Amino acid sequence: MDVLLTGLAAIADPMVLLMTVTGLVIGIVIGAIPGLNVPLAVAIALPITFSLTPVAGLAMLVGIYKGGTYGGSLSAILINVPGTPAAVATAADGSALTRQGKAGKALKMSLYASVIGELISDLALILFCVPIASLALKFGPTEMFALGIFALTLVGVLSEGNMVKGLIAGTVGLLLANFGVDPLSGQFRLTFGVRELSGGWAFIALVIGIFAVSEALAMAQQSLTTAKWGGVSLWSRENRIERAEWRQCAPAIGRSSLIGVLIGTIPGLGSAVAAFLSYGLGRTLSRDPDAFGNGALDGLASAESGNNAVTGTTFVPLLTLGVPGDVITAIMLGAFMVHGLIPGPALFQQNGDFIVAFFALMLLATALHFVIGLAGMSAFIQVTRVSKGVLFPIILLLAITGVYVTTNNVFDVYVMLGFGVLGYFMKVFGFPIAPLLIGFILSPLIEIGFRQAMIVSRGSYDIFFTRPIAAGFLGLALIVSLAVAWREWRRPAAPIEREI
């Protein structure tokens, strides 16, 4: 009881409140700006937290993490440029809703789904921390490979109606991720003698190029105009979320939150995988799959709740095993260590009051996220009032600056421009972009998982069918593939591209 009271008293400190709010505001702004990323913001804020109490310091970092994970959706919805890779799945339906004059509805659902996802994730962290950690330990390379293959079936799901082109985009994504140093053996591959390619294609350059730059190029081809997209009133009738829409989105939010909770516990996966898995599964189970990508509110809710449901359970491996699940928690590990807190089983025994305070802090940050998100929405929606002639040069400048400060390499900025041209031509020739991103994200997971599993099994493929979790995922992948193939078979043939 003393531990509980001491822990709760720690977050009653006004400094904790202030730091959480500051972190959330910084996180939302950083997340919304294409090219800037949450790990960078967390790393810069880390030294500031050293002079604070452990809980106040972590409050700021948790705020940046939660705010940044959500912030990526704002630019995805309003200007079709995802601020973070995890917001890519949000961009399709979010930007379609904006074009339909329903930016307010999209922003609201994005916030609500994000906060619900976070809340479920926080509760999972608090109530099932230890059992979830033991589940995460069961994920070895074989299971990672099988999960990667299951997630790869999303390429097929998101390509329905345009299967060959979607599969081509997904395979190109898989291939692009294989440039540079092999992560297991250190051998160079596909560098074509170019020294700068030894590190592979920078992911940030790929995402920003293929979304922000290609969008700017596509906008430039439209007629000369300084027309605005049409200002949107946040509280107008068409931007209200109706009860029927809530009924449609609630199952998607619940399902995607559980996916996010599971993905969060497994080190190395991250919110982008959770968002794509949630979105793909949402489309597979939807009564109207063709609405996905054309402004489906449940599609947006799936992606956002899955994406944000990672933020709580990412701390499971960190707190229980001392293993950071991603770059952000790896940086946060530094904050724990500086304050003399060593994550692992001993943390629960020796610093019970801190654990209580940390759990309460997660809930506090989620509640404040809702308040700040609601207040900030009115400001962010003003973007729809800015003319394209002003907005797109700023987006391009932000994109170039963001890639430069992230990689500190001019070559990667040129790479971003190259991917922008690729994205532009993909749009022109009717190739979907999301499968390319999915292939790129999943490629290391699949390759490393496969090769490590082969080493463990001494070259036997039996390992993929004798381990229950791996076999389960591969079975699911087969079922989804057959379902997609069946639906595609029954679909009328799509028209081919016009002559050039």
Partner 1 sequence: MRRTISADTYVALVLLLACAAVLNNLLSADLSGPYASPATLPVAATVVLIVLSFFLLAGSLRRAAPPSEPGLSRAAKLRVVALFVATALFIAAMAQLGYVLASIVFMIAAGLIFGNRNPVSLLGAAVVAPVALFFFFEKVMLVFLPASRLFG
Q: Which residues contact 64 (CB under 8 A, 6 or more apart)?
A: 23, 24, 26, 27, 30, 38, 41, 42, 45
Asked if 401 is part of the footprint of partner 1 (rule: CB under 8 A), the reply reads yes
Instruction: Please identify which residue in 1, 195, 223, 490 interacts with partner 1, judged by CB under 8 A.
Output: 223
Cβ neighbours, 10 Å, residue 248 = 17
Closest contact distance (angstroms) between CB of 93 and partner 1 is 26
> Is residue 61 a contact partner of residue 49, using CB atoms and an 8 Å limit?
yes
Rounded Cα distance, 116 and 108, in Å: 12
Least distance (Å) between residue 209 CB and partner 1: 11
With CB under 8 A as the contact rule, which of the stretches 108-116, 132-140, 286-294, 413-421 interacts with partner 1? 413-421
413 forms part of the interface with partner 1 (CB under 8 A):
yes
| Binding characters for partner 1, 429-468, by CB under 8 A (x = yes) | x-------------x--xx--xx--xx--xx---------
Alpha carbons 364 and 356: distance in angstroms, whole number: 12
Q: Among 136, 168, 274, 309, which residue sits at the site for partner 1 (rule: CB under 8 A)? A: 168
Task: Tell me: does residue 474 bind partner 1 (CB under 8 A).
Answer: no
Check binding of 206 to partner 1 (CB under 8 A).
no
Q: Is 398 in the site for partner 1 (CB under 8 A)?
A: yes
CB of 292 to partner 1, least distance (A): 23
Min dist. Cβ of residue 217 to partner 1 (A): 5
Helices (H), 2-99: 2-11, 14-32, 38-49, 54-79, 88-99
Least distance to partner 1 from the beta carbon of 430, Å? Answer: 8
3-state secondary structure of 234: coil
Distance between CA atoms of residues 20 and 358, nearest Å: 12
Query: Residues 340-343: contacts with CB within 8 Å, 24+ apart?
Result: 341/54, 343/318, 343/319
Part in contact with partner 1 (CB under 8 A); list of ranges 13-21, 105-113, 168-176, 339-347: 168-176
Contact region with partner 1 (CB under 8 A), list: 86-94, 233-241, 412-420, 484-492: 412-420
| DSSP code for 66 | H
The contacts of residue 119 (CB under 8 Å, 6+ apart) are 363, 366
Looking up tokens 């009860």, which residue turns up? 243
- The residues binding partner 1 (CB under 8 A) are 40, 44, 164-165, 167-168, 171-172, 174-175, 178, 182, 184-185, 187-190, 192, 213, 216-217, 219-226, 387-390, 392-394, 396-398, 400-401, 404-405, 410, 413-414, 417, 420-421, 424, 428-429, 443, 446-447, 450-451, 454-455, 458-459, 493, 495-500
